[in-house]
Amino acid sequence: MGTSWSAERRAVAAVLLAAALAGCAARPALRGTGDLGIVVERASGSLLVVDTTARRVLHRVTGLGDLSHASAVFSRDGRHAFVFGRDGGLSKVDLLTGRVVARRVQAGNSIGGAIGQRGELVAVSNYEPGGVRVFSAATLEPVADIPARGADGRPSRVVGLVDAPGRRFVFSLFDAGEIWIAEMDPDPRRPRITRIRGVGRQPYDALITPDGRWYLAGLFGEDGVALVDLWHPERGARRILAGYGRGERRLPVYKMPHLEGWAVAGTRAFLPAVGRHEVLVVDTVRWREVGRVAVRGQPVFVEARPDGRQVWVNFAFPDNDTVQVIDTETLRVVRTLRPGRGVLHMEFTPRGEAVWVSVRDEDRVVVYDTGTFEPLARLPARSPSGIFFTARAGRIGL
């Protein structure tokens, strides 16, 4: 005779089965993260998790605060994105589950951040109250607070924050005209600060070269770029490209250029000129200007295809419906594209066969083939701005 189950035993079994199924549903699908990325939806405080191989949206993540000037970095394994919001919010997002796993509002107004060399520290640069705050990447618990006060003792807004080899963070003080290097060894709770003063008026953004040696801060208050050799910070800052617009009337600047979108091709760098319709070409051996490329408008991002053969440029208003492609061998514009109104950002896939372009005012992302310049996909997105792929996880300064 078979054994009959009581109603109580059946109820218990049903509960256990439901719990097991729920647990399975909560687990992310088994997959890698190397072809994932995010698209910031600036107007709705959300982001899209995207698959760059299939060119499709996997998740929409909400509740991220003010993303009007948001940027992101990635954990070493590429699973988590750390999103820096304009409202001072720092959010840790699991790309596999599409969920916010930790969030902290750490300041009143922030402008970006960086993840440390070992992947265990996340730093945020702030406008209000200024300075840099450092957190545990695992928990977002505070680790260090670095107030930014210039030589005159006044607080300063911080821009151009990047990670550097040697477990360091490097950043610029916009109001003080200084560059600081914060060494997180041996104790990250007590960083050691090297202050480089008198670098120029109003460093507005900065970048670090892919090898981690050179830090460049663009100057808004005067023509030129401040250059620091991170192998020899004791030598201070050197001015390069000084007076590149001498004798010319500067145009009104509708949107600040973004130096972290600079381009390197071989031994040459391509930089957006402030207030001019030009891309500057710089020899990265001697750090001298070797050419200029006339472009449609005032450049915002100047991005290099990973192989260095092409540079893609987008522009401030009123030319923000246009993208131009520069051939880095001939220094000529070889293609002009019109993705739509409000082009804000571009991001190449890891090997450069495609580029994703955010078109804010038409609520879409356009994916282009970089060989044929033909569109491969159009994905709906709510006022998209920044696009960031997990390939950044293995790159210095990104």
Which sequence spans correspond to the domains of the chain?
Answer: 53-243, 253-398
> Residue 196's CB: how many other CB atoms inside 10 A?
22
Burial of 189 (0-12, 13-18, 19+ CB in 10 A): exposed
Angle (CA) 181-185-187 rounded to 5° is 115
- Minimal CA–CA distance to 80: which of 113, 21, 134, 36? 36
Q: How far is CA 118 from the centre of its chain?
A: 18
Question: pLDDT tens digits, the chain, 398 residues: what are they?
Answer: 444 556 655 555 555 555 555 554 457 778 999 999 999 999 999 999 999 999 999 999 999 999 998 999 999 999 999 999 999 999 999 999 999 999 999 999 998 999 999 999 999 999 999 999 999 999 999 999 999 999 999 999 999 999 999 999 999 999 999 999 999 999 999 999 999 999 999 999 999 998 999 999 999 888 889 999 999 999 999 999 887 665 455 656 656 666 776 677 778 999 988 888 999 999 999 999 999 999 999 999 999 999 999 999 999 999 999 999 999 999 999 999 999 999 999 999 999 999 999 999 999 999 999 999 999 999 999 999 999 999 999 999 98
Distance separating alpha carbons of residues 317 and 271, to the nearest angstrom: 18
Its CATH architecture, for the domain 53-243, is 8 Propeller (2.140)
Class of domain 253-398: mainly beta
Phi and psi at residue 119, to the nearest 5°: 85, 5
Would the CA dihedral through 119, 72, 365, 332 be positive or negative?
negative
Backbone region of residue 112 per phi and psi (left: phi > 0; alpha: psi in -120 to 50; beta: other values): left
CA dihedral defined by 288, 292, 298, 304, rounded to 10 degrees?
Answer: -80
How many angstroms separate the Cα of 318 from the Cα of each of 257, 321, 343, 360?
A: 15, 8, 11, 14
DSSP sequence for 243-280: TTTTTSPPPP-SS---GGG-EEETTEEEEEPTTSSEEE
Contact (CB, 8 A) for 336 and 314: no
Tens-place pLDDT, residues 75-118: 999 999 999 999 999 999 999 999 999 999 999 999 899 999 99
